[in-house]
Amino acid sequence: MAALEQLPESFVQRLAEILPRDRFGGCLESFSQLKPTSFRVNRLRTTEEGLMEELESEGFGLTRIPWSSGVFSIDPDQRRQLTDSAAFSEGRIYIQGLSSMLAPLVLGPRPGETVLDLAAAPGGKTLQMAAMMENRGRISAVESVRGRFFRLKSNLERHGATLVKGYLMDGRAVGAKVPERFDRVLLDAPCSSEARFTTRDKASWAHWSLKKVKESARKQKRLLDSAIRSLKPGGTLLYCTCSFAPEENEMILDGQLRRYQGQLSIEPLELPLDNIQPGLVEWRGKTLNEDLVGAVRILPTSEMDGFFLCRLRKADAS
C-alpha cells in the first residue's frame, strides 16, 4: 500500500490507534487517491439551474452531491478547465472540499444574525455562511496572516459577500475585546493539516511532527477560549479542524468543557454520511468528557477528506 510506505511512520501508527479498525485500511488508501473536484454554486451571484446549464454546455460532467443542494463534483481531470471557466473567475462557483462544507451547514447561521469566523482565510466557509444568510446580518471574519487576509478580502469581493467585515488581527484577542457579542461562532482552527496529506505530494506532510501537533494544540486552546468568550449566552459555536489528532480535537474540547463547566455543552451531531466516527471519550489512558461522543470525525474516503467537527452551546444567561 503506497500510503503505508510513504507517510511518516509515527503518523500512520497514531492513525491506527485513532480510527476504527475495520475502516483503517480504506482510510489509509484514500491518501493515495485523487479525489473528485467539488464545488458550491454561489447563490449570491447566480442560480443553480442557470449555472448547471452553463457548465453542461461547456462539457462538464456534473455529479450532484445528495446531502446538500447546489453542490456538485466533477472528474479531477476537468479541474483545470473549471478554474479557467467564466463561472469560476466571476465568482459564481467556489471550489471547496466536501468535508469543509459540512462546518457551515452544521453551524446553521441564519439571515440577520451576528456571526464570527475566527480563522477565516481564504474564506470558503465565510462565503458559504454569507450565502446561507442571504447577505443579511453581519459576519466578522478574522485572519492573522497578512497575505492570507488579502486573499480573503479579494474572495469576498469576487463572490459578492457584502455582509462581511474583515479584521486583520490575532483571533486569540477577540474574546476579550468583544465578549458575548456573537449569535454564532465558527472556529475552523489552524492545525497540523493531517487530513490534507497526499502521497502525490511530499510537501503535504513535510511540516508534520508530534511537536507540530503540540504547537497547534497550544494555539487551538487559546483560540477556542477566545471563541467561547465572544459567544452570546445561548449562542452556538462550531469547532473544527482538518487534523485527526485527539490532542487537537477532543482534548482541546475536554479542557474547555472542564473550564466552562455548566456554561458550555456539546450538541450531538447527526450527519447523513456513513464515513463517520463518534468523537473519542478516551485517548492513551486519559478519560475524556463522555459527551464528546456527540462530536464527529469524518473518515477520509476516495471522495472526501478527513475532518473533525464539534458543536457547542453556551448556556442561556441566568
Select from 241, 288, 285, 306 the least CA-distant residue to 99: 306
Nearer to ligand SAM, 187 or 288 (CB): 187
Nearer to ligand SAM, 70 or 124 (CB): 124
CB of 141 to ligand SAM, least distance (A): 9
CB of 115 to ligand SAM, least distance (A): 13
CB of 167 to ligand SAM, least distance (A): 9
Residue 277 has which C-alpha cell?
A: 466516527
CB of 121 to ligand SAM, least distance (A): 4
Amino acid identity, position 91:
G
Strand, helix or coil for residue 271: coil
Rounded to whole angstroms, the Cα distance separating 14 from 27 reads: 13
DSSP string, 141-195: EEE--HHHHHHHHHHHHHTT-TTEEEEES-GGGHHHHSTT-EEEEEEE-----GG
Nearer to ligand SAM, 78 or 100 (CB): 100
* CB contact at 8 A, 141 and 187: no
Nearer to ligand SAM, 21 or 207 (CB): 207
Residue 242 is among the residues annotated as catalytic for this protein: yes
CB of 219 to ligand SAM, least distance (A): 6
The CA–CA distances, whole Å, from 127 to 43, 46, 157, 210 equal 10, 14, 10, 33
Angle, CA 157 vertex, CA 74 and CA 235 arms, to 5°:
85
Rounded to whole angstroms, the Cα distance separating 306 from 33 reads: 13
Nearer to ligand SAM, 230 or 289 (CB): 230
Residue 40 bridge partners (DSSP) = 71, 94
Select from 86, 92, 9 the least CA-distant residue to 47: 92
CB of 256 to ligand SAM, least distance (A): 16
Residue pointed to by grid coordinates 483560540: 223
Chain residues that interact with ligand SAM, rule: CB under 6 A: 100, 119-125, 142-145, 148, 170-172, 188, 190
Residue 227 has which C-alpha cell?
A: 471563541
Residues 184, 194, 91, 34, Cα dihedral to 10°: -140
* CB contact at 8 A, 174 and 230: yes
CB of 84 to ligand SAM, least distance (A): 22
* CB contact at 8 A, 88 and 294: no
Q: Per the residue annotation, which of 27, 191, 240, 242 is the catalytic one?
A: 242
Nearer to ligand SAM, 191 or 288 (CB): 191
CA dihedral sign, ordered 75, 120, 301, 106:
negative
Nearer to ligand SAM, 140 or 289 (CB): 140
Catalytic residues: 242
